Amino acid sequence: TPFNPHGSAPQELVFMVEWGMAPLEALRAATANGAELLRLPDVGTIEAGKRADLVLLDGDPSEDPRTVLGRKRVWQAGRPV
């Protein structure tokens, strides 16, 4: 939609924390909660047997959500992209 264009998810996570959510709560909202609501049991968390598309960051977003705005590497289906 015009309100959340493609690529805006990292900034949305930062806004969630700025507007009062705890960083870990915001991460869950952006990952596990969405997968659960969409009934996608094979994604949303990092666990054995689940599909693993990962974003590697230069910091810990559960401590500082702004790390999602920085440099990153993406791994999809076990391979760097």
What is the spatial order of strands in the sheet that 54-57 belongs to?
54-57, 72-76, 79-80
Q: Which of 63, 81, 77, 70 is nearest to 24 (CA)?
A: 63
Cβ–Cβ < 8 Å for 37, 29:
no
The vertex-33 CA angle with 4 and 21, nearest 5°, equals: 70
6-45: per-residue pLDDT in tens?
677 888 889 999 999 999 999 898 888 888 999 998 888 8
Q: Which stretches within the chain are classed as H helix?
A: 9-18, 23-30, 32-37
| Top-confidence residue, 64 or 78 | 64
What pTM, to 2 d.p., does this model score?
0.73
